[in-house]
Amino acid sequence: MSARPDTDDYRALFLADTPMMDMRAPTEFARGAFPSATSLPLMTDDERARVGTCYKQQGQQAAIELGHRIVSGDIREKRLAAWCQFARNHPEGYLYCFRGGLRSRTVQQWLRDAGIDYPLVLGGYKAMRRFLIDELQRSVERGHFVLVGGKTGTGKTRVILDIPHAVDLEGLAHHRGSTFGQLPQPQPSQIDFENRLSIALLKLQHRSAEPVYLEDEGRLIGRLYLPEALREKMAKAPMVVLEQSLDERIDVVVEDYVIDLGQRYRAFYGEQGDALHAEKLQADLFRIRKRLGGERHQCVSEMMAAAFARQRQSGDLDGHRQWIGFLLEQYYDPMYDYQLQQRQGQVLYRGSRRAVLDWVAGR
């Protein structure tokens, strides 16, 4: 393997989705990392804590010596084998630690001793994270955005996925955005979400100066919040509005929240998935009971329970159309109409999903 230089060209790393191995401890990685990074830590959390305590009490040299004693013998050989395998699998990759310091250079030297020259990212995680924060701010400031809006069930995410120059915010956040939008798999950390968003905008703006299409979202997508600068830009951005019939919208909600979400729960939880899916939707409904009012909440809850019972008995999904239609007409539509009236941005176009996609393609 020929030697490549260490790099601080963070833009090139993220534009190319360059594979990187992260030397930081598992808790550091979980707090925030990058989409193309793999956690292959030099030390476990406990080992790192021991070295940190030693550093505070006895200084750097003692901490370094302790680290070498901890990561030695079979432990060292096992970890080195994993690093070597990554380097062989990803000859174009890099390694990094928090600041591009001792951990990176230690692993780099051990790889070199094993016959593999593998470059590191100068400045490490901290410098790359700083780059993405600054780049996100620049992307928002210089970018032109068009929002895709519309009532619940019009298929906004479907349109976003069919527009080449768009960012799927809900996909990045791993959440469908509504009260009922939580998926069985956990959302990423806030830092991971921001990193993914920054990289997505970086790639689009690198390709062209076309407007970036985003789904009209609130401040929060699940428990993740949109960066304030982006929220302010979105509040004034022009919009295209999807318009579909009530029956078409119910079809979309059944597909997304009954069929697809049910499949996700079964895949994640196995035979308990169906019951947990039904419980989850009832719990979500309970969260909006005050805004619905007690009587309407009870009515929808009973309709939902009956629909799931019917589905279990016969596989028939039509019962779900009743409670979904009720929520759309009685709860979501009035809320959306009010929010649309408060918007500052211009409405550029209204139409069906197909019409909006044709309009976007013809711009």
- Same-domain pairing of 158 and 279: yes
CATH number at residue 49: 3.40.250.10
- pLDDT, tens digit, for every residue of 191-238? 999 999 999 999 999 998 889 999 999 899 999 999 999 999 999 999
Euclidean distance between CA atoms 22 and 37, whole angstroms: 6
Q: Which of 130, 153, 177 delimits the end of a domain?
A: 130
> Would you give the DSSP letter of residue 323?
H
Residue 224 pairs in a beta bridge with 221
What are the residues whose beta carbons fall under 8 Å from the beta carbon of 178, sequence distance 6 or more?
152
Global pTM value: 0.92
pLDDT of residue 2: 52
Is residue 149 domain-shared with residue 111, that is, in the same domain?
no
Q: Which domain-ending residue is among 67, 102, 130?
A: 130
The answer to whether residue 1 is domain-embedded is no
The verdict on 36 and 151 lying in the same domain is no
Return the pLDDT at 173. Answer: 97
Helix H or strand E encompassing 188: none
Indicate if 59 and 105 belong to the same structural domain: yes
Amino acid at site 292 = L
Residues 14 and 100 in one domain: yes
Instruction: Answer for the pair 125, 98: CB distance below 8 angstroms, yes or no.
Output: yes
CA separation for the pair 60, 43 (Å, rounded): 16
Whether the pLDDT of residue 309 is over 60: the answer is yes
What 3-state DSSP class applies to 336? helix
Q: Mark whether 76 and 189 lie in a shared domain.
A: no
Are 46 and 168 part of one and the same domain?
no
Note whether residue 138 is domain-resident. no
End-of-domain residue from the set 88, 107, 130: 130
Check pLDDT > 90 for residue 344: no
pLDDT reported for residue 48: 87
Question: Is there a domain that residue 113 lies in?
Answer: yes
The whole-number average pLDDT for the span 39-46 is: 94
Confirm whether 110 is domain-assigned: yes
- The range of the structural domain enclosing residue 295 comes to 143-363
Residues with catalytic roles: 97
Same domain for 312 and 177: yes
